[in-house]
Structure 1
Amino acid sequence: MSRYFEFARHGTTWRTEIMAGLATFLTMAYIIVVNPAILEAAGLPRDASITATILSAAFGTLVMGVYAKRPFAIAPYMGENAFIVFTVVKGMGFPWQTALGAIFLAGALFTVLTLFGVRRWLAEGIPASLKHSFTVGIGLFLTFIGLNAMGMVQLGVPGSPVALGALNKPTTLLAMAGFLATAVLLARGQKSALLLGIVLTTGLSFATGVTPLPAGVVSAPPSLAPLFGQIDIAGALTLEAMPVVVIVFVMAFVDTIGTLIGLGARAGLLDANGNLPDMEKPMLADAVVNMVAPVLGTTTCGAFVESAVGIEAGGRTGATAVVVALLFLASLALAPLFTAIPSHATGVAIVAMGVLMLSAMATLDFADFTEWVPAFLTIVLMAFTYNIGVGMTAGLIAYPVMKSFTGRVREVPAAMWWLAAMSLLFYAVYPYH
Structure 2
Amino acid sequence: MWAQMAAGETGASWRCDAVAGLGTALTLSYVLLAVPTFLARAGMDFAGAYAACGIAMVLGTALMGFLRLPIAAAPSVPLVVWLVMLPVISHGLDWRALLAVGAAASAVLLFGLFTLGRLHRTRFGARHFRRELVHSVVPPCIERGLAGGVGLMLIFTALSEGRLLMPAPAGLLQLGDLHDPVAAFGLVGVLLVLALMAARVRLAVFYAMLIVAVLSFVEGFWIVPSAPFFEPEGLDKTAFQLFCVPSMDGILWGEAAATGFVLLLYLALDGWGSLIVLAQMRAPHGETSSSDAAALHGRKTLAVFGALGIVASALGTVPVVAAPESAVGQSLGGSRRMSWFTALFLTGMLFLAPTARELASFPALFVPALFGAGILLLQRVQGVLSGDFAERAAAGALFLLAPLTKSLALSIGTAFFLLVFLKCMAGRMAEVRLPARVLAVCFLLYWYFGYWPTF
Instruction: Give the counterpart letter for 1:19 in structure 2.
Output: V
* 1:293 and 2:312 matched: yes
Evaluate the alpha carbon distance shift between residue 175 and residue 369 of structure 1 in structure 2; reply closer, same or farther with a 3 A threshold: same
Structure holding more helix per residue? 2
**Root-mean-square deviation (CA), in Å?**
2.5
Q: Structure 1: which 5+ residue stretches go unaligned?
A: none
Name the CA distance, whole Å, in 1 between partners of 2:454 and 2:345: 38
Aligned to 1:215: 226
Q: How does 1:169-248 map to 2 (within 5 A)?
A: 169-232=180-243, 238-248=253-263
Residue 454 (structure 2) pairs with residue 432 (structure 1)? yes
Give the aligned residue type for 1:34.
Answer: A
Question: Whole-Å Cα distance in 2 between the matches of residues 372 and 216 of structure 1?
Answer: 54
Q: C-alpha separation between the residues in 2 aligned to 1:282 and 1:191?
A: 29
Is 2:155 the counterpart of 1:143?
A: yes
C-alpha change, 1:9 and 1:174, in structure 2 (3 Å) is: closer
Pair 1:375-2:395 in alignment: yes
The residue type paired with residue 322 of structure 1 is: W
Name 1:337's counterpart in structure 2.
355
Q: List aligned pairs for 1:154-173, cutoff 5 A.
A: 154-157=166-169, 159-173=170-184
Q: What amino acid sits opposite 2:177 in the alignment?
A: A
- Give 1:102 shift: 0.5
Correspondent of 1:279 among 298, 307, 325: 298
Q: What secondary structure does 2:168 align onto?
A: strand
Report the Cα distance in structure 1 between the residues aligned to 2:83 and 2:416, rounded to whole angstroms.
Answer: 24
| Contact map agreement 2:276 2:290 (CA 8 A) in 1 | no
1:35 maps to amino acid: V
Query: How does the TM-score come out when normalised to structure 2?
Result: 0.87
1:154 match: secondary structure = strand
Deviations 1:1-42, CA, capped at 9 Å, x for gaps: xxx996565642322222211111111111221111111111
1:309 is aligned to 328
* CA shift for structure 1 position 149: 1.4
CA distance in 1: counterparts of 2:350 and 2:395, whole angstroms? 41
Q: How many residues align?
A: 427
CA separation in 1, counterparts of 2:436 and 2:271? 16
Which digits, 9 at most, give the CA deviation of each residue in 1:299-354, with x for residues without a partner? 1311111111111111232x211111121112122233344333111022212222
Deviation at 1:296, TM superposition (A): 0.6
Structural mapping, 1:58-69, within 5 Å = 58-66=58-66, 68-69=67-68
Q: 1:75 to 1:133 in 2, by over 3 A?
A: same
- For 1:181 and 1:35, the matched residues in 2 are separated by 29
Post-superposition Cα deviations, 1:51-88, rounded to whole Å, max 9, x if no partner, equal: 1110010111111221x321111111111111221111
Cα separation, partners in 2 of 1:126 and 1:208, compared to 1, 3 Å: same
Specify which of 231, 235, 258 is matched with residue 273 of structure 2.
Answer: 258
- Cα deviation for residue 292 of structure 1 reads 0.7
1:142 Cα offset (Å): 1.2
| The 10-residue stretch of structure 1 (286-295 or 208-217) with the greater mean CA deviation from structure 2 | 208-217
> 1:14 matched to which residue of 2?
14
Residue 88 of structure 1 corresponds to 87
Cα distance, 1:43 vs structure 2: 0.5
Q: Which amino acid aligns with 1:386?
A: K
The one-letter code matched in structure 2 to 1:39 is L
Contact 2:144 2:382 in 1 (8 A): no
The 3 A distance-change label for structure 1 pair 161 and 376 is same
Aligned-partner SS, 2:237: coil
Instruction: Check 1:249–1:57 CA distance in 2 against 1; reply closer, same or farther (3 A cut).
Output: same
Higher deviation after alignment, 356-365 or 394-403: 356-365
Alpha-carbon distance in 2 for matches of 1:156, 1:228? 42
Counterpart among 128, 135, 145 of residue 140 in structure 2:
128
Which residue of structure 1 lines up, in the alignment, with residue 422 of structure 2?
402
The CA distance in 2 between the partners of 1:424 and 1:5, in whole Å, is 34
Moved more, 9-18 or 72-81: 9-18
The separation in 1 between residues aligned to 2:6 and 2:147, in whole angstroms, is 25
CA–CA distance in structure 2, aligned partners of residues 6 and 34 of structure 1: 31
- Could you say which residue in structure 1 is the equivalent of 2:127? none
Query: Structure 2 vs 1, CA of residues 247 and 5 (structure 1 numbering), >3 Å: closer, same or farther?
Result: closer
Residues in 1 aligned to 2:175 and 2:94: alpha-carbon distance in whole angstroms: 39
C-alpha displacement of 1:161:
3.5
Secondary structure, counterpart of 1:29 in structure 2: helix
Mean Cα displacement is larger for which, 27-36 or 6-15?
A: 6-15
Matched, 1:56 2:73: no
Equivalence map 1:380-391=2 (5 Å): 380-391=400-411
Equivalent-residue separation in structure 2 for 1:240 and 1:107 (angstroms): 17
- The answer as to whether partners of 2:149 and 2:402 remain within 8 angstroms in 1 is yes
For 1:45, give the aligned amino acid.
D
Taking the aligned partners of 2:420 and 2:82, their CA distance within structure 1 comes to 28
CA separation in 2, counterparts of 1:135 and 1:232? Answer: 39
- Could you give the per-residue CA deviations for residues 167-203 of structure 1, whole angstroms, max 9, x where no partner exists? 1222322221222122222223223221222111111
Give 1:372 shift.
0.8
